[in-house]
Amino acid sequence: MINEKGFVAYHALGNVADDMMMDALLPEDGSSASTVHSAKRRTVYEFFSRGWGVAIICAVVAVAVMGGIIWAGNRPGGVTPPVGMTVSPETEHMIFPTETQEGESGTELSDTQDPERNAVVLHSLQRKYVPPKFLCYSTTLTEGEDGLSHGETADGLGFEGVMQQGETPALPTVTWAKDAELADFLDVAEGYIVKEFMVYDMDMQLVESGSSVMGYDSEESVKRFVIKKLPVGTWYMSLRVEHDGGEMHQCVYDYAFIAKVAETVTDTCTVRTDQDRYAWGVEDKYYHITLTSTVKGAILDIYGGSWELVNLDTGKHINTLCLTASAPTEGTFMVMPSSQEALAYYTLTWDFDWETTPPGRYRLVYTSVTMEANSFIQWQDGHPYYDFVIYDPKTGEPAPTAPAEGQIFVSVGGEKILPCRWAYGGEKWSSDGFRINWDGFVVPEAEFPLISTRIPCVNYAPDLTIHSSKDLTVTVYDENWNLCGTLRKDQLHELTFFGKNAYYLSFEAEERYENKKDYCQLFVYVQMK
Amino acid sequence: MTDQEIISLYFARDEQAIAETSRVYGAMCMHTAMRVLNSRPDAEECVSDTYLKAWNSIPPEKPRALGAFLCRITRNLAITRYRALHRYKRNRDLELSLSELAECIPAVEEDNTLRYLIDSFLRGLEDTDRRLFLGRYFHSYTVRRMAKAYGMTENAVSLRLYKTREKLRVYLEKEGYSV
């Protein structure tokens, strides 16, 4: 529940005097010079305010005055240094998008009252200008049996949309839902205008751009613009969006996402282990699992639902990941629905504490007070849950023992799932391909020998060998999941060109199965040594 | 660059004001926002909004302490943003601190008398207690973080916070405010 009382109390505390407030800042936060002074001044004041200190101070002052007179008299221009000396605050380097990149077009402003004044700020405050450095979220565009194109976008910055075929049969449109609650979440409200869009191919060559946009269609409750229909394939898209939502929100945002145009509706679920959060044997002993799922459905009432983690071995309810009830007992939780129409996309992210979430069999259960609204969702085996197993890194068994350096195994989907094996430790990595299909069937490995990845040694010049029976797309992200670029599988030795310390590599391949086009995605974390 | 020099840039409508503000106080604002939002993208946006608000406020405002001015803006923007986002991105520690705060400060909005009383109470506290209290409930530091900074155990910090909360509650009750 929202702690409204707490928020009110929080605001009531917000008017404390500056000196006290800044005095409570810890040093690493870069307290300002004035803070240091104010603290010092108060200390002196307090010292004076204590009666017995006055006598001592008077005596000291008397001696100092005498000494000062003598010293000043012997010193040319005897002036003491100013009391208010400047103390340079230590500030840590902060990445802040104060600079725009080359090639950026001008920003139109909507503030007619004082455009010049805001122009300066908006230029400075412009958020990350993405192309050709794209964010990592992906978009799937599919053509369903109804002949329409469906899709979704998610850029992780509070902007998402739905792609579907519009009134012009040959042209898909990008449509944003107007729903108030969704808009509230997405920070996309009336007043947003898409100023420009660009479409790139995988080689970052611009294939389509335009600025002919669109307006707000009050009758259809959508905003839309038209782009040329894209062929099947993977495309990078970026949008520049201007928001005229008031004085505080007159900003221009740049969004980018990957659009995958497929021929059929594809349901996929990818579970990836976020390796940089692994910390075996160190202080926190946390590891981190992100479950990303795309489910075919209509309205996903994610707002009213909750996720609950149950240890199937003990029956213990580990925590309640609930959007509207109490906070989870550990970790963080994030849900990102992209839309209330067509495909729904969400990401669950939370931290498992080894001590409270030991190896074992777990079930992530979704419940909702309005389950009928979720009946569209094609759950595994028709049940609204995901099963997964956390294996012990030492024994490889789903039984709890103390964590240790070494391998970690994670599988998803219970017995039906192909083994997903992650090995790490800095020197060698290996991973077997896996594939998850939420349509309720899993293709045996023999029929889908998708990826066999072996990275025997990762050094300054990584020697990566990829074994695959299929054509692969290797997408490279940095540790923050910012897209660095793409490589062919025979180009992985060029990984160092991106200049990062660690990467996530996404190996993707497509496969046709029972007239459906499926793709597998495997994430491997590579640490440069 | 001093506060006054930065403020002069604002008054001159010089874009450099933002850059200097970011250089001097960017980390502080970022830390402040991060402690509430626990999300770097959200915090970055919050800090951007802070600069925008500062730009729009100065002039006519002429803050005496720019750092405090910015910190207050960031904190308010962050908590407002958190309230909007919190269904999706929970900050367990912040929730805990809010619930603790609600134990000792009544939920009365826009009450200047209450604010004055809180200010007076805090000024009367022993230095460490005041810093711990404001660190926890104004700046949203974790107990662990403060324990490390002050060379205390987490239990000791928690206990002192508890005692301060109780003192504040009793103090406010005597003044006619019941939690």
Q: Which of B15, B26, B64 sits opposite A91 (nearest CB)?
A: B26
Model confidence at B74: pLDDT above 80: yes
pLDDT digits (tens, 9 = 90+) for B31-57: 888 888 877 778 888 888 888 888 888
Helix (H) or strand (E) holding A29: none
Closest chain B CA to residue A99: B19
String of b and e for B112-145 (b: at least 16 CB within 10 Å)?
eebbebbeebbeebeeebbbbbbbbbbbbbbbeb
Compute the distance between CA of residue A387 and CA of residue A377 in angstroms, rounded to an integer. 16
Strands (E), A458-515: 463-468, 473-478, 483-487, 502-513
Q: Does the beta-carbon distance from A35 to B67 stay under 8 Å?
A: yes
Closest chain A CA to residue B169: A9
The arithmetic mean of pLDDT across residues A464-470, rounded, is: 46
A44 touches chain B (CB under 8 A): no
Higher per-residue pLDDT: A60 or A396: A396
Higher per-residue pLDDT: A466 or A157: A466
CB B118 within 8 A of CB B125: no
Distance from CA of A350 to the nearest CA of B (A): 10
Interface of A with B in 100-119 (CB under 8 A): 117
Residue A95's Cβ-side half-sphere holds a number of Cα atoms within 13 Å equal to 4
Compute the distance between CA of residue B72 and CA of residue A15 in angstroms, rounded to an integer. 8
Q: Does the beta-carbon distance from B79 to A32 stay under 8 Å?
A: no
Q: State residue A247's pLDDT score.
A: 41
> A196: which strand partners?
A240
Residues of chain B positioned with their CB less than 8 A from the CB of A136: none
Q: For residue B51, what are the CA distances in angstroms to A101, B47, B90?
A: 20, 6, 25
CB B169 within 8 A of CB B177: no
Q: State residue A407's pLDDT score.
A: 26
Compute the distance between CA of residue B77 and CA of residue B49 in angstroms, rounded to an integer. 8
B111 touches chain A (CB under 8 A): yes
The arithmetic mean of pLDDT across residues A143-156, rounded, is: 34
CB B50 within 8 A of CB B70: yes
Q: Which of A482-496, A508-522, B48-62 has the lowest mean pLDDT?
A: A508-522
CB A411 within 8 A of CB A382: no
Model confidence at A395: pLDDT above 50: yes
A335 touches chain B (CB under 8 A): yes
The arithmetic mean of pLDDT across residues A454-458, rounded, is: 31
Cis peptide before B60 (omega within 30 of 0): yes
B62 touches chain A (CB under 8 A): no
Interface of B with A in 144-163 (CB under 8 A): 145-146, 149
- The token duo for B139 is 């700046």
Model confidence at A328: pLDDT above 50: no
User: Quick one: pLDDT band at residue A260, thresholds 50, 70, 90?
Assistant: very low
B178 touches chain A (CB under 8 A): no
- Beta-carbon pairs below 8 A across chains A and B: 218
Q: What is the 3-state secondary structure (H, E, C) of A136-162?
A: CCEEEEEECCCCCEEEEEECCCCCEEE
CB B66 within 8 A of CB B171: no
Higher per-residue pLDDT: B15 or A440: B15
Helices (H), A75-199: 115-125, 180-186
Residue A211: closest CA among A284, A107, A115, A282: A107
Amino acid identity of A314? T
Model confidence at B128: pLDDT above 60: yes
Q: Does the beta-carbon distance from B87 to A332 stay under 8 Å?
A: no
Q: Does the beta-carbon distance from A127 to B45 stay under 8 Å?
A: yes
pLDDT digits (tens, 9 = 90+) for A268-284: 222 333 322 222 222 22
Q: Does the beta-carbon distance from A34 to B66 stay under 8 Å?
A: yes
Q: Which of A87-101, A233-247, A477-491, B70-84 has the lowest mean pLDDT?
A: A87-101
Compute the distance between CA of residue A348 and CA of residue A360 in angstroms, rounded to an integer. 19
Q: State residue B133's pLDDT score.
A: 92
String of b and e for A35-58 (b: at least 16 CB within 10 Å)?
bbbbbeebeeeeeeeeeeeeeeee
Q: State residue B161's pLDDT score.
A: 87
- The token duo for B10 is 């604002």
Amino acid identity of A461? A
Sign of the C-alpha dihedral computed for residues A31, A32, A33 and A36 taken in this order? negative
Q: Which of A45-49, A246-250, A367-371, B117-121 has the lowest mean pLDDT?
A: A45-49
Higher per-residue pLDDT: A259 or A265: A259
Compute the distance between CA of residue A356 and CA of residue A329 in angstroms, rounded to an integer. 10
Please tell me whether the interface predicted TM-score (ipTM) of this complex is above 0.85: no
Q: Which of A121, A248, A334 sits opposite B88 (nearest CB)?
A: A334
The rounded Cα A131 to chain-centroid distance in angstroms is 18
Q: For residue B16, what are the CA distances in angstroms to A98, A121, A298, A515, B177?
A: 10, 10, 49, 59, 46
Q: Does the beta-carbon distance from B102 to A34 stay under 8 Å?
A: no
Q: State residue A56's pLDDT score.
A: 39
The arithmetic mean of pLDDT across residues B98-121, rounded, is: 80
CB A459 within 8 A of CB A401: no
CB B54 within 8 A of CB B69: yes
Pairing of strands A502-513, A516-527: antiparallel
User: Quick one: pLDDT band at residue B82, thresholds 50, 70, 90?
Assistant: confident
Mean of the per-residue pLDDT values for chain B? 82
Closest chain B CA to residue A19: B68
User: How wide is the angle at C-alpha B29 spanned by C-alphas B149 and A133, nearest 5°?
Assistant: 115
Q: Does the beta-carbon distance from A7 to B22 stay under 8 Å?
A: no
Compute the distance between CA of residue B28 and CA of residue A493 in angstroms, rounded to an integer. 40
3-state secondary structure of B141: coil
Higher per-residue pLDDT: A329 or A48: A48
Q: State residue A473's pLDDT score.
A: 66
- The token duo for A279 is 């910390």
Sign of the C-alpha dihedral computed for residues A371, A377, A379 and A385 taken in this order? negative
Q: State residue A317's pLDDT score.
A: 67
Q: State residue A357's pLDDT score.
A: 59
Prediction pTM value: 0.34
The arithmetic mean of pLDDT across residues A361-367, rounded, is: 63
Q: State residue A454's pLDDT score.
A: 32
Closest chain A CA to residue B108: A8
Higher per-residue pLDDT: B64 or A127: B64
Higher per-residue pLDDT: A352 or A134: A352
Longest dimension (CA), chain B: 50
The arithmetic mean of pLDDT across residues B68-88, rounded, is: 79
The arithmetic mean of pLDDT across residues B131-141, rounded, is: 88
User: Quick one: pLDDT band at residue A368, thresholds 50, 70, 90?
Assistant: very low
Compute the distance between CA of residue B136 and CA of residue B98 in angstroms, rounded to an integer. 10
First to last CA, chain A: 45
Return the residue matching tokens 């000792």: B104
Residue A218: closest CA among A240, A255, A191, A245: A191
Sign of the C-alpha dihedral computed for residues A204, A207, A213 and A217 taken in this order? negative
Most confident of A12-26, A173-187, A230-244, B161-175: B161-175
Q: Which of A190-194, A300-304, A426-430, B142-146 has the lowest mean pLDDT?
A: A426-430
B137 touches chain A (CB under 8 A): yes
Residue B10 φ then ψ, to 5°: -60, -45
CB A468 within 8 A of CB A452: yes
Q: State residue B90's pLDDT score.
A: 59
Closest chain A CA to residue B105: A9
Q: State residue A234's pLDDT score.
A: 57
